[in-house]
Structure 1
Amino acid sequence: MEQFRKVLVLYVGGTIGMQQNDKGALIPIPNAFLQKIKYHSEMHDAEKAKKYFRALKENELILPPATGINTVIYELIEYSPLLDSSNMSTKEWVRIATDIGRNYNKYDGFVVLHGTDTMAYTSSVLSFMMEGLQKPVIITGSQIPIFETRSDAKDNVLSSLIIAGCYNIPEVCVFFANKLLRGNRTAKISSDDLDAFDSPNYHTLVDVGINMKINHHHIRKVDDSVHFKLHTNLNSKVVLLSFFPTITREMLQSYLKPPTQGIVIQSYGAGNLPSNRPDILQVLREAVEREILVINVTQCARGAVSNSYECGMVLEMIGLTSGRDMTVEAALTKLMYVLGLPELTYLQRVELMKTDLRGEITNT
C-alpha cells in the first residue's frame, strides 16, 4: 500500500528564486517560484495529483514516484517580502522557527529555501531554538537560480524534500551539493563553487549518489522524554571579533562597551592571543569581571581551541570560555540563545556555552 508523507516548505528567499532585472542584477520575484516548479515534471506529478488528490490546495504539490521511497506531498508557503539572505535578522529567524512550531504536528518534515550567504547562521540558530526536535528541518538553496537553464536548485530541493519526508533525521540540517550536513556544524566555504558548504569538524549525515547513504551513527539520537519546545527569546547584544596582530586596547574596548553582553573572539591557531600584551589581557579580564560572556574559537577552518600553548593557558586563567571546535556561526548564535534564556546566573550561562546542547561541540 502506498505511503504518503507530508513536508512543509518555507520559501524565505535567496538566489534559488531570483531573476535578473533590467540592470542585470539578481532580485527575488514574488509568486514566480511556485509556478516554475508546478510545471516541472520532476518536481510535481500533475497527473497523479488529478487522479488521487483532487483536494490538493493551490500551493500543494506531489513528487513523482521514486524507487524505494514514500510519496511526498509538499506545501509551499512563500514569505513576503522575499529576502536576500544578507538581509536576514533575528526577526526572520523567529518567524521561521515560529512557523515550524505552529505546524510541527501537521507535517513529517520541513524544508526552508534560503539564501546561501547567511544559511549557516540560520541553520545554527534554528538548532538552538528548537529543543527536543524529532523531525527533519532541512535548509537548502542554490548558487544558480532555478530559472536558469543550468542550475543546482532542482537537485538540492528534490533531495531535501525526499530526506525530509522519508527519513528519520531529527536535526536541523543543511543540504547542498549531494551532502546533508548538521546545521550547527556548517560553514559556507565558497562564493562561486556549487559545492559551497562544508562541515569542517563533523561527518556528513547523508551522502547522496546513486543511492542515499545514511550515516546513522553520526545522527543525533532522539530523547523521547524531551518534548518539542521553541525558544524565541534571542539576545542580539553580541559581537564577533577576529583578532589581528595590530589590534589596540582601544579597539578591543570599543567592542566590549555597553550594550554588549557577549562576544565571540576568533583567536589564532589553537586558541591563542598575544600573552605579551598586558593591555589587551587586562581589557578581557575586566570584561569577564563585568560578566560579559567571552567565547574563544579558532580562526582556522578545522580544529579546536585548546590550552596547549602558554598563550591559550593565559586566556583560560583570566576567564575566557573555550568554544572548542564550534564554528563561528554556531558560537555566535548559541551565545544569543544562552543569553536569551531567563533567570540564569552568569556561571550557569558559562556552563551552557561549554556544554554540547545540539551536537555543536565534539565531546572529548
Structure 2
Amino acid sequence: MSKKILLIYTGGTIGMQASDRGYVPCTGFEQLIRDRLAHSRHGTLPEFDLLTLHPLIDSANLNPGHWNKIAGQIISQYAEYDGFIVLHGTDTMAYSASMLSYMLQGLDKPVIFTGSQIPLSELRNDALDNLISTLQLAAFHPLPEVCLYFNGRLLRGNRSSKVKATGLDAFDSPNFPWMGQVGIHIELHERLLLPPGEQAFCNPEFDPRAVSILPIYPGISAETTHAICSTAGLRAVILRSYGVGNLPDQDPGFIQALQAAAAKGLIMVNISQCLQAEVAQGHYACSAVLNDMGVISGQEMTQEAAFTKLHFLLAGCDDNSLVQQQFSTPLAGEVDE
C-alpha cells in the first residue's frame, strides 16, 4: 500500500523568493515543490498533499496561538495520512517542535519539522535535500514522535535548538543524541525512540502572558527582576542562570526580589545559559538559595522545551502549585527519566 504524507506549510524561508524588499513568500509554492521533485526518483518518494496556513507565519512573528493552528490540522486529519511534515521558519522551529511534542503525546506515526536556510526557489539551496529526506523519513521509517530534521540530522523535537544563524547545519541537540542521520544511508537509532504510549492529543488555549524569561547577567538589578516577575498575567518565569544553575546570591536586593516572587506563588524554573549543561542546583553555594525558594531545576532542558512545557501545563491547570509538581515529570522525552 502506498504511503501518503501531509505537508503543512506554515511559512518560512523554504517557501520564499528574492525581492527588492528582501525575501518574501513566493507564489505557486506547491507547484514549485512538485517541479523540483519531478527530477527525483518518484519510486522512492510517497504521495503527498500540501496544506498552506493562511496567513503564512514569518517564524519571528510566531505566537502561542499558532501552535493551536498547526496542531489542529494534524489532529483533525490524523487518520487520513501516514505521517506529517511541518514546513516552518527556522527562527522558532524548535519552539513549535517542542510544543507539539506535548500536544501530540502518544503518536504512532511521524510528525517531522523541517525548513531551510536558502529558499527552494534559489538555484543553490538546502531546501530540496531537507524536503526529500523528510518525505522518506516520514513515509518509510518508524518515528512515533515529533522530530526535527535538518541537514542530515534527525533530532527529537523537544531536544533541538537552533545553534547557527546562517550555517546549513543550523540545528543540533546539545544534551541528547541525534535520533538518526542521513548520509549515504539513512541510519535511525531506534533504541532512542519513545516507547509506545496511549494517545493523548489536546489543543488547549494558551495565555501568551503566562510565561516569561529572566536572563541572569552581571549587575542585574532588583528593579529589573521585580518588573519582570510582577508582569500582569505572569504565572511562571524561567531563570537563565550561569553554568550549572548559578546566580548572584551576594546581591540582597536581587535575591529578595526573587523571594518575593516565589512567596506570591510564581513558578520559577532554573535553566542554564550554556548550550551543553545540566542544572545542579546547590552544587555551588551561590545556587543553594534557590532550593530554599522552591525554584525547580530545569535539568538539561533547552529553553524552548522548558518555555513550551510551562505554557502547556499552565494551559491545562489553574493551580500553580500543582503545575510546579508536574513540571519535573517527563512528558515526551524532554528530560531523562
Relative distance call for 1:197 and 1:41 in structure 2 (3 A) is closer
Task: Write out aligned runs for 1:281-292 (5 A).
Answer: 281-292=255-266
Q: CA RMSD in A?
A: 1.4
Would you say the 8 A contact 2:235–2:320 is kept in 1?
no
SS of 1:180 mapped into structure 2? strand
Percent sequence identity over aligned pairs:
38
Task: Write out aligned runs for 1:311-330 (5 A).
Answer: 311-330=286-305
Would you say the 8 A contact 1:134–1:228 is kept in 2?
no
Name 2:131's counterpart in structure 1. 157
- 1:178 aligns to 2:156 (yes or no): no
Name 1:19's counterpart in structure 2. 17
> 2:309 is aligned with what amino acid?
K
SS of 2:36 mapped into structure 1? coil
Name 1:232's counterpart in structure 2. 204
Q: Post-superposition shift, 1:324?
A: 0.6
Q: Post-superposition shift, 1:357?
A: 0.9
Q: What does the per-residue CA deviation read over 1:63-113, in whole Å, with 9 as the maximum and x for residues that have no partner?
A: 7113xxxx5111001122222111111121110000000001111110000
Point out where structure 2 has 5 or more consecutive residues left out of the alignment: none
Relative distance call for 1:256 and 1:150 in structure 2 (3 A) is same
Task: Write out aligned runs for 1:195-344 (5 A).
Answer: 195-223=169-197, 226-236=198-208, 237-257=210-230, 258-306=232-280, 307-342=282-317
Task: Write out aligned runs for 1:93-172 (5 A).
Answer: 93-172=67-146
> 1:39 is aligned with what amino acid?
D
Structure number with larger C-alpha Rg: 1
Name 1:29's counterpart in structure 2. 26
1:235 and 1:127 map into 2 onto residues whose CA distance is 19
TM-score, normalisation: structure 1: 0.89
> 2:297 is aligned with what amino acid?
S
Q: 319-328 or 346-355: which moved more?
A: 346-355
Relative distance call for 1:43 and 1:247 in structure 2 (3 A) is farther
Would you say the 8 A contact 2:14–2:89 is kept in 1?
yes
Q: 193-202 or 33-42: which moved more?
A: 33-42
Would you say the 8 A contact 1:180–1:207 is kept in 2?
yes
Would you say the 8 A contact 2:314–2:320 is kept in 1?
no
> 1:65 is aligned with what amino acid?
G
2:203 and 2:33 map into 1 onto residues whose CA distance is 33
